Amino acid sequence: MRIEIRELGRTFGSAPAVEGVSATIEDGEFICILGPSGCGKTTMLNMLGGIIAPTAGTILFDGVDVTKVPAEKRGVGFVFQNYALYPHLTVAKNIEFPLAIERVPRAERRRRVREAADLVQVGPYLDRRPAELSGGQQQRVAIARALVKNPSLLLLDEPLSNLDARLRLEMRVELQRIQREAKVTTVFVTHDQDEAMSISDRTMLMNRGRLVHFADPQELYDDPAELFAATFLGNPPINQLRGRIDDGDLTLADGTIVQGIAPAGLTVDAAIVGVRSETVTLASTAPRARARVEDLQYVGRDVYADVRLGDARLSALVSRREVDRSLVGTEVPIGFDADGVHVFDAESGRRIR
C-alpha cells in the first residue's frame, strides 16, 4: 500500500509534537522513523495507525483519505516494544485473537494461524504460553499476531528494544526476511541509528517534530540535509570545525587557517564545516593545514587518531600500516577528501554545500 502524508501535524496543548511532515511511502517499502527521544516518532506512527488523531494535515492510503478513519478500520497491524501478548492464552490463541474478534470461520482461522506462525517460525510452540518462550520468540508471536489479518500496513514501535544485543541483530535480519515474504509496507520506529541504517529501505530522520531528511541510509550518511542529520548519524560523531570561510579558506577562532577546505569562491561569515573521520587524511599530499597528533586509539581493526587543529579537535580514521605510536606528539600535514566535507550555516544549521 502506498501512503501519502501531507503537512501532518499534532499538537498536545500548545506544544507541537509533530509539525508539517510531508512524505510518500511506496508500496512494499520498509521505512524507519529515526530520531532522538521526544522528537515525535511514536506520535507519527500512531497517527498512521489511527491511534492518535492529527491536528493538521492528511494521510492517504492508496489515494484514499483515511485521516478520520479509526484504527480498527485501517487494516494496520501493530507491534509494540513490550509485545503485549495475553499471558493466559497459548501462542496459537494469541495469534488467532484478531481473527476471533472478526468472527472468521474456524477452519480458515486455523489455516491462517499456521501460516503466520510458520512465517515467523514459531510453529513448534503453538501450545505454549508466552511465559514459556524467550523474549525473541515472544516478539515473533507478536509479529505473527500483527500479520495474521494480512494488514496492508505493518507498524512497529521499538520492537527490538527489550532484546539483548545478540538477539537484536538476529531479529533485524529476521524482520527483513518476514517483511519481504509478507510483502507488507512497514514503518518501524527506532532511536538506534545502526538499526535504522541496517534494516530500512529508507529512513525518516526526525528532530523536534520535524522531518529533517527522508532518504536511503547511504544518502542520509553521505549527504546530510542539515547539521542535525550530520551530527546525529555516524560513529565517531562527525568532526566540526567552526569559523569564517573566505573564498574557500576556513579561519578558526584562534586564527588558524585551513586552506581550500571549501570550494573557491565560497564565503560564509559563520560556518560549521563537518568532516567525517574517514575523510580526514594525515600526511596528506595535498595538505590544507598542519595538525598535531595527540593520541592514537586502537578500536579492533581500526585506528583513530585524535588530532588538534588550531582550536579544534578532530578524529581521523587511519590505516594501521600508516601510523605507529611515534607519531603521537608530532605535527603532520592534514588533508580532507572533498566529497566528505559539508558546509553548514552555524546559526540555522542549514547545509550550504
Q: Which residues bind ligand ATP (CB under 6 A)?
A: 12, 17, 35, 37-43, 191
**Whole-number minimum distance, CB 210 to ligand ATP, in Å?**
12
Q: In the numeric block, which cell numbers belong to residue 259?
A: 586552506
Q: How far is the CB of 21 from ligand ATP (least distance, A)?
A: 12
Identify which of residues 15 and 131 has a Cβ nearer to ligand ATP in the complex: 15
CB of 282 to ligand ATP, least distance (A): 38
Please report, as a single letter, which amino acid is at residue 143. I
Minimum gap (Å) between residue 192 Cβ and ligand ATP: 10
Count the neighbouring beta carbons within 10 Å of the beta carbon of residue 108. 10
30-34 and 202-207 as β-strands: parallel, antiparallel, unpaired? parallel
C-beta of 37 vs 326, nearer to ligand ATP: 37
CB of 53 to ligand ATP, least distance (A): 11
Residue 156 beta carbon to ligand ATP: minimum distance, rounded to whole angstroms:
13
Omega before 236 cis (within 30°)?
yes
d(C-alpha 118, C-alpha 136), whole Å: 15
Nearer to ligand ATP, 38 or 70 (CB): 38
| CB closer to ligand ATP, 17 vs 323 | 17
Long-range pairs for 207-212 at CB < 8 Å and ≥24 separation? 207/35, 207/36, 207/39, 207/232, 208/39, 208/40, 209/9, 209/16, 209/17, 209/18, 209/19, 209/39, 209/40, 209/43, 210/19, 210/20, 210/21, 211/20, 211/21, 211/22, 211/23, 212/35
Q: Which is nearer to ligand ATP, 40 or 234 (CB)?
A: 40
- Least distance (Å) between residue 17 CB and ligand ATP: 3
Return d(Cα 284, Cα 268) in angstroms, integer.
Answer: 26
Q: Are strands 185-190 and 30-34 parallel, antiparallel or unpaired?
A: parallel
Nearest residue (CB) to ligand ATP, 38 versus 124: 38
> Residue 65 half-sphere exposure, CB side, CA atoms within 13 Å?
7
Ordered DSSP codes for 269-327: EEEEEEE-GGGEEES-SS-SEEEEEEEEEEETTEEEEEEEETTEEEEEEE-TTT--GGG
In Å, how far are 1, 89, 173 from 166, measured between CA atoms? 32, 28, 12
Which residue's CB is nearer to ligand ATP, number 41 or number 140?
A: 41
Minimal distance, residue 35 CB to ligand ATP, in Å: 6
- Residue placing its CB nearer to ligand ATP in the complex, 40 or 57: 40
